[in-house]
A and B are shown apart, each in its own frame.
Chain A
Amino acid sequence: AQSVTQLDSQVPVFEEAPVELRCNYSSSVSVYLFWYVQYPNQGLQLLLKYLSGSTLVESINGFEAEFNKSQTSFHLRKPSVHISDTAEYFCAVSGSEKLVFGKGTKLTVNP
């Protein structure tokens, strides 16, 4: 069985500041890791994913995440956030067809 822990339920930051959203997972099998984003009153959208290969994965809007097997982590980072990045971010792990989601981290970017 897999599980995901997102340590921070809320992260407030100022615009143009860097941000890191933390995600740790546990699994007894090889996993695939995902970050999804949910904007207000919308469904979840895939932000980025790690399947294999390079441990650093990037999204088209400047986010990146690094798979660290020894620390069982997949933290999400962005060097400079925008107001439009305000949303809830979910880390997820998959060892099969199912995704197991963390509780989510609400990122609020203030001007």
Chain B
Amino acid sequence: DAGVIQSPRHEVTEMGQEVTLRCKPISGHNSLFWYRQTMMRGLELLIYFNNNVPIDDSGMPEDRFSAKMPNASFSTLKIQPSEPRDSAVYFCASSFQTSGGSRGVNEQFFGPGTRLTVL
């Protein structure tokens, strides 16, 4: 298994440009999570999907951020326009969530992250 795949691994862009981060979850997983990691704020959950449907986007910082999951094997996180304060490492994670009382106990598998620098 290739694990969670993220691209690009590094992205350097200028303020105002559109940035698109990509994630391929582990085959068979039905939940996908986008996180942002910074020194100041640590690891923050931005949004998560279950069966391709956004369940909780309360962590998305503002309207400049949007995420989609058009199918079970692909998700994107877009920032438009980007700002220097968006510089961070963005992680995608996936898991297989069962229904019922055991929700939340399954391991999340993280991708290697995308290091975004906005100049």
Contact = CB atoms under 8 A, between A and B. Distances in A.
A95 B107 contact: no
Contact of B110 (A43, A49, A102): A43
Contact of A98 (B45, B110, B112, B113): B45
Contacts of B31: 97
Given A96-B104, A98-B48, A98-B56, A42 B42 contact: no
Q: What is the interface of chain B mostly: helix, strand, loop, or mixed?
A: strand
* Residue of B33, B91, B108 with most partner-chain A CB within 10 A: B108
Contacts of B55: 97
A36 B48 CA distance: 19
Contacts of B66: none
Contact of A99 (B4, B42, B45, B111): B45
Given A43-B4, A43-B113, A94 B42 contact: no
B103 A90 contact: no
A94 B105 contact: yes
Given A32-B105, A104-B43, A97 B50 contact: yes
A51 interface: yes
Interface residues of B, number: 22
B42 A97 contact: no
B43 A90 contact: yes
Interface string B92-119: 0100010000011101101111000000
Contacts of B97: 97
A101 B43 contact: yes
A77 interface: no
Nearest to A93: B104
Contact of A46 (B45, B107, B113): B107
12 contacts: A32-B104, A41-B112, A43-B111, A43-B113, A94-B105, A96-B103, A97-B55, A97-B103, A98-B45, A98-B104, A103-B42, A104-B43
Interface of B: 4, 31, 33, 42-43, 45, 48, 50, 55-56, 91, 93, 97, 103-105, 107-108, 110-113
